[in-house]
Amino acid sequence: MEIKEIEEIENAFSKDKSLSLELEAKIVDLEKRIKKEELATFLSGKYDDYNALLMIMAGAGGQDSQDWATMLLRMYQRYCESKNWKVSVLEQSFGEPGGPDGRIGTKSAVIEIKGKNAYGLLKGENGTHRLVRISPFSSQALRHTSFAKVELIPEIENEKEVEMRPEDLKIEFYRASGPGGQNVNKRESSVRITHLPTGTITACQVERSQGDNRKKAMAMLISKLVKLEEEQREKEMTKIKGEKKSASWGNQVRSYVLHPYKLVKDLRTDIETSNVEAVLDGDLNQFIEAQIKI
Domain coordinates in residue numbering, the chain: 2-42, 52-159+245-291, 161-241
Q: Does position 30 have pLDDT exceeding 70, yes or no?
A: no
d(CA 4, CA 238): 45
Model confidence pLDDT, tens digit, residues 242-286: 554 443 445 689 999 999 999 999 999 999 999 999 999 999 999
Distances (CA, A) of 96 to 148, 177, 180, 286: 17, 12, 6, 35
According to the model, what pLDDT value does residue 183 have?
53
Average pLDDT over residues 188-217: 90
Domain 161-241, CATH among 3.30.160.20, 3.30.930.10, 3.30.300.30, 3.40.50.300? 3.30.160.20
CATH fold for domain 52-159+245-291: Alpha-Beta Plaits (3.30.70)
Q: Are 80 and 115 in contact (CB under 8 A)?
A: yes
Pairwise pLDDT comparison (165 vs 13), residue with the higher score = 165
Question: Can you tell me the mean pLDDT for 48-69?
Answer: 93
Same fold, 52-159+245-291 and 161-241: no
7-11, 22-26, 245-249, range with the lowest pLDDT: 245-249
Q: Name the residue type at position 169.
A: L
Which pLDDT does position 48 carry in this prediction? 92
CA distances from 279 to 167, 216, 241, 252 (A): 45, 30, 36, 17
Burial of 237 (0-12, 13-18, 19+ CB in 10 A): exposed
pLDDT at 245: 45
> Measuring CA to CA, which residue among 42, 122, 38 is closest to residue 79?
122
- Residue 259 CA to residue 270 CA, distance in Å, equals 20
Give the best-scoring range by mean pLDDT among 37-41, 117-121, 153-157: 117-121
Backbone φ and ψ of 84, nearest 5° = 60, 35
Q: Per-residue confidence at 201, pLDDT binned at 50, 70, 90?
A: very high
Instruction: Look at residue 13 and tell me whether its pLDDT is greater than 60.
Output: no
Is the pLDDT score of 172 beyond 60? yes
The stretch 61-72 carries a mean pLDDT of 93
Q: What is the mean pLDDT of the chain?
A: 84
Q: Calculate mean pLDDT across residues 95-119.
A: 90
pTM: 0.80
User: What burial letters (b/e) apply to 180-193, b meaning 16+ CB within 10 Å?
Assistant: eeeeeeeeebbbbb
